[in-house]
């Protein structure tokens, strides 16, 4: 039963990846730039905004997202600047992924500690969000239709399990190939396909309006 399920996932995953491969060849803005960046400065310049959006989508807080991207840039520059430019993308996304996971774990620990200390309640005894940040309020993008759709997509993506979310972000949003995604996620290529297949299945259910 398990193996049949896995086999189904594999088949589905392959189909997803074939289609995503076709998507990769579609004309995407700045796609050429992604390939041609040969200096680290140019690479970081073209990736930093997307990295911030990706971190923000997972961490839901701008300052934490900024910290994560800053740290990832610093580590890449300090430790991997001499690597070939084609390796920078998977290295950078891998560093950022680990940093995001670190921050999520710290938040969890903080929320537990605050809960023990009784800081999780306000004066009326109501529960306060110990670490979950308050929404910063609608920005300019929220007045646009695309912004609403992006918000809906972000919410749906955040509901995914961690590994499925990472597979979707690197493979679909960032457009990394399977090998680079596997490298960024520190897992096998088969796992990437399985996670992505399941992520697409969940997102299909959550984003029915997009059909």
Partner 1 sequence: MSAPDTHLAQRARELYGKAAERLDPAVGARLQAARLHALAAAHAGERRHFGSGARWLIPSGACAAVVLAAVTLWQPMQPPMPAGTAGTAQGSDLDNELPPDAAQTDPVLYQNLDFYGWLASTDQTAGRH
Site for partner 1 in 165-204 (CB under 8 A): 168, 172-173, 175, 200, 203-204
DSSP state string for 91-143: HHHHHHHHHHHHHHHHHHHHHHHHHHTTTTB-TTS-B--SSSPPP----GGGG
Residues 79-138 touching partner 1, rule: CB under 8 A, are 81
Least Cβ distance, residue 122 to partner 1 (angstroms): 30
Under the criterion CB under 8 A, does residue 19 sit at the interface with partner 1? yes
Q: How many CB atoms lie within 10 A of CB 71?
A: 17
Report how far apart, in Å, the C-alpha atoms of 41 and of each of 44, 48, 74 are. 5, 10, 12
Exactly one of 10, 34, 60, 70 binds partner 1 (CB under 8 A); that residue is 70
Rank residues 53 and 163 by Cβ distance to partner 1 and give the closer one.
53
Using CB under 8 A as the binding criterion, the count of chain residues that bind partner 1 stands at: 49
Residue 73 binds partner 1 (CB under 8 A): yes
Longest dimension (CA), the chain: 58
Report, in Å, the least distance between residue 50 CB and partner 1.
4
């Amino acid at each position: 039963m398990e193996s049949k399920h896995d086999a189904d996932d594999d088949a589905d995953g392959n189909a997803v990846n074939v289609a995503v491969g076709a998507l990769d060849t579609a004309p995407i803005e700045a796609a050429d730039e992604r390939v041609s960046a040969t200096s680290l400065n140019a690479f970081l310049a073209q990736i930093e905004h997307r990295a911030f959006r990706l971190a923000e989508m997972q961490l839901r807080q701008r300052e934490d997202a900024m910290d994560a991207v800053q740290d990832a840039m610093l580590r890449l520059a300090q430790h991997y600047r001499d690597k070939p430019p084609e390796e920078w993308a998977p290295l950078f996304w891998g560093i950022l992924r680990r940093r995001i996971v670190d921050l999520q774990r710290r938040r969890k620990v903080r929320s537990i500690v605050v809960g023990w200390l009784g800081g999780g309640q306000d004066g009326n005894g109501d529960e306060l969000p110990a670490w979950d940040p308050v929404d910063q309020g609608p920005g300019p993008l929220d007045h646009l239709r695309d912004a609403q759709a992006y918000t809906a997509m972000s919410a749906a993506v955040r509901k995914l399990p961690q590994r499925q979310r990472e597979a979707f972000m690197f493979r679909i949003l960032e457009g990394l190939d399977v090998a680079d995604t596997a490298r960024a996620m520190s897992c096998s290529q088969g796992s990437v396909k399985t996670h992505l297949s399941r992520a697409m299945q969940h997102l299909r259910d959550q984003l029915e309006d997009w059909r």
